[in-house]
A and B are shown apart, each in its own frame.
Chain A
């Protein structure tokens, strides 16, 4: 293992307008080592990657590559200097219209000294060299759309390696790969390590981390919250540093659930995932927590009829429940505040009251005609109930702050009584005051229904829920009553302790 860091970042700062995203990041990468970067959504991972790969320029701080100052102004400059990034979206790394050989040598077709004519034989010859060096077994004449995701990923990485980089950045490379495909990627990464490449590996998957990491760096709110390099690596500590916990949390008055409202048995939501059961009682708020990509949204969508479970049965109020569409779920009294409101929630052309009444227009309408006076009265009541800050119920959504927009999304589903009320990442992009308001409203209105929230941030679960369930690898691996809970066990479950044997 290299003693001297090949790539060193010190006190890196980056702001967008008045918002500071990176507040002094320090990071070292060593030759022949995999450094894993962990961080929750919004921690600043992507910004860091973009600064290093030359997409953004830094505001302050220094980057050193091989003892020389490194400050790329464009991605091409970063690549020439020897820092190559393979971005999260696999299809950004390959050009679908060209075959494998051309993709592998694509970067040689541009720039000074590139031949004017396209010579397929030479391309094939150079591509073969690249492929052989990487141990790539993909047919060079194959078309990209015919390849599996894993093969495309391999091509993208091989293409990146054609530059002989000193530093390779992999941004969530396994997020769309199966575990068998991921194993092929890991073998490739092992080969790269032997060649002395310093690798920065960004991921949420604990199984990746356990398999690959030589060091773990946890990023939180734009600063490094912890570096872990002593063997054996302290995975729980890394997760804890990444999720962070503040002292003096507002403790909730924990209540136990009443009669069972929702029950699922033998539910399986992903190939090769362990089936699990889930029971939710009336009046309780249950939080499902776990890292990004462990299946929280998949579970929410299964319960809401967006996707069908691979196996298992569900029951609502002891009656079989198998929604084939969101409409059926809504009619049964199962509501979902979807995550990422801009993508899945807000109708940008609609004002506040039109957004609010979207799911229940039928009830507000008479002979198909929407009763606007009635609609606006409902909206005004919700605005008052949730403390939404706006001028009138006819304001554009774009004029609201993130927190108020989220309140409108929650209010959309609160004008009717739910049996099961689900919220997926309801506190994402929400300021602390609005977050408290929403959590308080959820708890105050929890009687008579089951409430289920899906959150990555542990704090949010601890502040809101009566009961906390932990998801990992598309199944539920732990359950805790939110009173005097065993934090060590909880973090261990989030960090995938059960994977130890497997890894």
Chain B
């Protein structure tokens, strides 16, 4: 293997390890289990969304609606529990249904209405951002809020639902690992296995790489594409559930950065192991990379407003790795 191949393949992972080593030495308290868990927790929701959008990238599409699916799911969870006074189970089901329905609509628009993926999901993004504000006339949802008709919402977030955001599992140390981190890890392993090891994942890659060839090999191309958007929608709605459970209210102003952060994580993932294509492992590493960098810089007292700038640098460097250095980008 030539130097360049080595650099393309392992460069990004080496950079990640070097970064961890540097922060461990330079920042007090960085190298602790609590710090590690905090990093995972900070990227859990973005990571879940990024894994979903990876599925659409694999079939050669894109999903810009994930951020607004997540916030819509969050608002729906709050609405179901606070205003409709239902339990946690109903709230979770409602959120997942939103994800599935949005995914189906996205897939339908793209596959049957032949709207380009970016445009269809952009439209869906706008639609959802608006839709989630209609039931409460633009207000955030919290227990005790006054409804448009003057009554007071009496429902509360159930304890079981809040536990999704606040419970921590024991892992060597008591109360260490939050539920959201477990969800992230489970979903990451699941989508990774699905994409890499099942025939469905393989065919989705085939559809993304040469749609016509996949079709002539007997693949139901349209179904695979729609499935990809449904997966993306479900993952985004799970992210929304975690967000609602963390906040404990339906906050109209939250989740602004979700879309860009998760898309960045998925694109950074292209550079991991020189894959030069969307892949679940890379996406997870990409999300972690951003989390580690931000945590380390924060602990070294870098001001919060530099965060987006740093993310941008990482993304640009990763894209250069992918497209300029690897052979795959060269075709």
Q: Which residues of A contact B (CB under 8 A)?
A: 304, 306, 325-327, 329-331, 336, 338, 343-350, 354, 358-359, 361-362, 364-365, 368-370, 398, 412
Contacts and interface: CB of A to CB of B under 8 A. Distances in A.
Interface in B196-235: 197-200, 202-203, 205-206, 208-210, 212-220
Interface in B132-155: none
A187 B306 CA distance: 70
Which one of A304, A306, A326, A330 has the greatest number of beta carbons of chain B within 10 Å? A326
A344 B200 contact: no
A362 B199 contact: yes
| Interface hub of B199, B208, B328, B331 (most chain A Cβ within 10 A) | B199
A362 B218 CA distance: 11
A354 B202 contact: yes
Contacts of A359: 217-218
27 contacts: A326-B218, A327-B218, A327-B219, A336-B216, A344-B212, A344-B216, A347-B205, A347-B206, A347-B214, A348-B209, A348-B210, A348-B331, A349-B205, A349-B277, A349-B328, A350-B209, A358-B203, A358-B217, A358-B219, A359-B217, A359-B218, A361-B199, A361-B202, A361-B203, A365-B199, A370-B197, A398-B331
A347 B209 contact: yes
Contacts of A347: 205-206, 209-210, 213-214
A438 to B, nearest CB: 18
Interface residues of B, number: 24
Given A326-B218, A348-B331, A359-B218, A365 B198 contact: yes
A346 B212 CA distance: 9
Contact of A338 (B199, B203, B205, B216): B216
A370 B217 contact: no
Interface of B: 197-200, 202-203, 205-206, 208-210, 212-220, 277, 327-328, 331
Interface SS of chain B: helix, strand, loop or mixed?
helix
A49 B202 CA distance: 42
Given A327-B220, A358-B206, A346 B213 contact: yes
A349 B278 CA distance: 11
Contacts of A370: 197-199, 202
Contacts of B202: 354, 361, 370
A79 to B, nearest CB: 33
Given A347-B206, A348-B209, A350-B206, A368 B216 contact: no
A444 B5 CA distance: 42
Contacts of A354: 202
A326 B213 contact: no
A359 B215 CA distance: 9
Contacts of A368: 198-200
A338 B217 CA distance: 10
B219, B277, B331 pick with most chain A CB within 10 angstroms:
B219
Contact of B210 (A325, A329, A346, A362): A346
Given A349-B277, A350-B206, A358 B197 contact: no
Given A326-B217, A358-B217, A369-B199, 16 more contacts: A327-B219, A329-B218, A330-B217, A331-B218, A338-B216, A346-B210, A347-B209, A347-B214, A350-B209, A358-B206, A358-B219, A364-B199, A365-B199, A369-B198, A370-B199, A412-B217
Contacts of A349: 205, 208-209, 277, 328
A26 B38 CA distance: 76
- Enumerate the 10 nearest inter-chain pairs by beta-carbon distance, A residue then B residue, closest first: A349-B209, A361-B199, A327-B218, A358-B217, A359-B217, A365-B199, A330-B218, A368-B198, A347-B209, A347-B210
Most chain A CB atoms below 10 A, which of B208, B212, B213, B331: B213
Contacts of B219: 327, 358
B20 to A, nearest CB: 31
A304 B209 CA distance: 22
